[in-house]
Structure 1
Amino acid sequence: MPSFGIATAPMQVHYHDILRVWREADTIPEIEHAWLFDHLMPIGGDPAGPAYEGWTLLSALAAQTRRLRLGLLVTSNRFRPPAMLAKIATTVDIVSGGRLDFGIGAGSRPSHPLARREYEAHGLPFHDSAYAVGSLAEACTVIRRLWTEPEPFDFQGEYVQLTGAFGNPKPVQRPHPPIIIGGRSAAVLRVTAEHADLWNIPGGDIEDVVQRNALLDRYCTEIGRDPASVTRSIHLAVAYDQPGGTKDAISQAIDAGFQHLVLGLPAPYPADVAQWVADELIAASISR
């Protein structure tokens, strides 16, 4: 049985609008998870419009909900040093009572100018793709160790260097929150095969999605991992005025083996939008 969630991009919208949707979704069992993204400036609409910092907002929403699993699709590993990110994620897991799904990725692709500008605007370095992927692999290693190891440790990697690293407190979830890696490049898929519990890809081109899915299967097999141990997740855009297209995309994704479906809700959010998602999109997909 597939699991369904919603995503509310925290840009061009007010905090209270997102809170309204999450609180409603928290009361609807058919919606099992909810997501934000991780951008510091808008990547759509008015470039000077509002955008909220993802982890801060996620912690606030975690305190205002009781049931939903929650996370960011996905954290940019370029924004925060991994040991700091591990501490932030642990805090959210504790605030939520153990409901965090930890999403992480290599960061925005260089070809996306609206995403690229946020690094320069915040004084953050934007390294090349090889650096981004290599540092992602080391970050996943370090974060997992900080969540699980009972003693301080040193880490001397190519991209990450830590002395006396130690995570206290530990996350609520044991051995650690599920790790969901987002991306589609072959290099990121190799990191996914090694480190992820779930893999997420944006929908849209189902043929490309299927090819990337098969590539992940291959990389898992090459390192001796059962491909079925990585849950397949997909983000699908919702069109309120054309639900048939969204239903078709959901059906194609499920037929392709994706069991974790995230429905992206565009703002402004209609009244009772979470119930509409459950009635119009999820119920129809479950009853196929």
Structure 2
Amino acid sequence: MPPTPQPSFGIMTVPQQIGYHDILRVWREADTIPEIEHAWLFDHLMPIGGDPGRPAYEGWTLLSALAAHTRRLRLGVMVTSNRLRPPAMLAKIATTVDIVSGGRLEFGIGAGSRPDHPLARREYEAHGLPFHDFAHAVGSLAEACTVIRRLWTEEKPFDLHGTYHHLTGAFGNPKPVQRPHPPILIGGRSSATLRVAAEHADMWNIPGGDIDDAAERSALLDRYCAEVGRDPASITRSILLPVSYDHPSTTRATIGEALDAGFPHIVLGLSAPYSENVARWVTDELISASAPTGLLHSP
């Protein structure tokens, strides 16, 4: 049997309903705590929860600022909506963040919001962005992953005339710090998205605390990997779990279930407002109390 992957813990701060300096405070604290290895934002242009008129920050711009204010954390957007930016532009943005961070970017991407979430749907209309059906979104995502990887790795300009994306003389300069490219994390649970992950992902993330569903989706990803001739173990399994400040034992139990189900990459979703020393609280109450002894990464 292959060795059990070491657990890796991170946090997610949703950049809505809160100020920039509050998020920066949490990330700076987390950057000093070795048990917290990665930190994430989301990618929405307007709030998708709480007061719809409150602030929401653009994820990649904010990520670049946080990258400049941290030194150790790996960081990313969980996950970038492929609907919001052309892939060549996104490749350039991500390269810039990888350089600003000194090679710490985890590149998260997904098909984008589904139309059954009205607060997510409204941001497209508000910003004059088209909202295609889900089949279009997933097909575009698969093509975007190819475009982005080529821009990160190829040394000569190229043309691409796909179904969804058309580029002439495309070329990425500079290249990312990480070689051959930053790890690609694809997020989502639909069968169509899992097929894209089987082809393109280094990591796959599923949101939520339904561990049985996550395990079933992971098994489906295994089957899709087999269909394309890929070792399923080459894709790290990641899960986003909500944190209960009032009932940490519930969160600890869910973390244990996720680890047992084969999800070593744990992202703990923190709800605002953030108390003082919230990153230390997460470490003491959740991470140190949940990880098997001796299996946390060394600082």
TM-score, with normalisation over the residues of structure 2? 0.96
- How far residue 208 of structure 1 moved from its aligned partner, in angstroms, is 1.1
**Quick one: which of 220, 223, 241 aligns to 2:225?**
220
Aligned to 1:105: 110
1:119 maps to 124
Structure 1 gaps of 5+ residues are none
Given residue 236 of structure 2, which amino acid in structure 1 is its aligned partner? T
- Which residue pairs with 1:69 in the alignment? 74
CA distance, structure 2, for counterparts of residue 145 and residue 180 of structure 1? 16
How many pairs were matched up?
288
What is the one-letter code of the residue matched to 2:204? W
Per-residue deviation at 1:206? Answer: 1.5
Q: Which of 231, 253, 261 pairs up with 1:248?
A: 253
Aligned to 2:192: 187
User: Aligned partner of 1:128: which letter?
Assistant: D
1:117-156 Cα deviation digits (max 9, x unpaired): 0000000000001100000000000000000000000000
Residue aligning to 2:274: 269
Cα deviation per residue 1:177-216 (whole Å; 9 max; x = unaligned)? 0000000000000000000000000122112111101000
Distance of 1:221 and 1:270 partners within structure 2: 45
Q: Structure 1: which 4+ aligned runs deviate by more than 4 Å?
A: none
Tell me how far apart the structure 1 counterparts of residues 14 and 45 of structure 2 sit (CA, whole Å). 11
Does 2:18 match 1:13?
yes
Taking the aligned partners of 2:113 and 2:208, their CA distance within structure 1 comes to 17
Pairwise CA distance, 1:267: 0.3
| Whole-angstrom distance in 1 between the partners of 2:221 and 2:37 | 25
State the alpha-carbon separation in 2 of the partners of residues 231 and 3 from structure 1.
11
Using structure 1 for the length normalisation, give the TM-score.
0.99
Give % identity: 79
Deviation at 1:110, TM superposition (A): 1.0
Q: Distance in 2 between matches of 1:177 and 1:67?
A: 16
For residues 136 and 223 of structure 1, what CA distance do their matches in structure 2 show?
A: 18
Q: 2:217 & 2:292 partners in 1: Cα distance?
A: 28
Q: 1:161 aligns with which of 149, 163, 166?
A: 166
2:8 to 3, 28, 35: 3
Q: Please say if 1:281 is aligned against 2:292.
A: no
The alignment partner of 2:138 has SS state of helix
Deviations 1:156-186 (A, max 9, x none): 0000000000000000000000000000000
Q: Which runs of 5+ in 2 are unaligned?
A: 1-5, 294-299
Match of residue 30, structure 1, among 3, 23, 35: 35
In the alignment, is residue 208 of structure 1 matched against residue 213 of structure 2? Answer: yes
Equivalent residue in structure 2 for 1:41, among 36, 41, 46: 46
Query: Aligned residue for 2:3?
Result: none
Q: Could you say what secondary structure the match of 1:89 adopts?
A: helix
- The CA deviation at 1:100 is 0.2
Q: 2:95 and 2:259 mapped to 1: Cα distance?
A: 32
The one-letter code matched in structure 1 to 2:273 is: P
1:196 matched to 2:206? The reply is no
Give how far 1:287 is off. 3.8
Q: Does 1:146 align with 2:146?
A: no
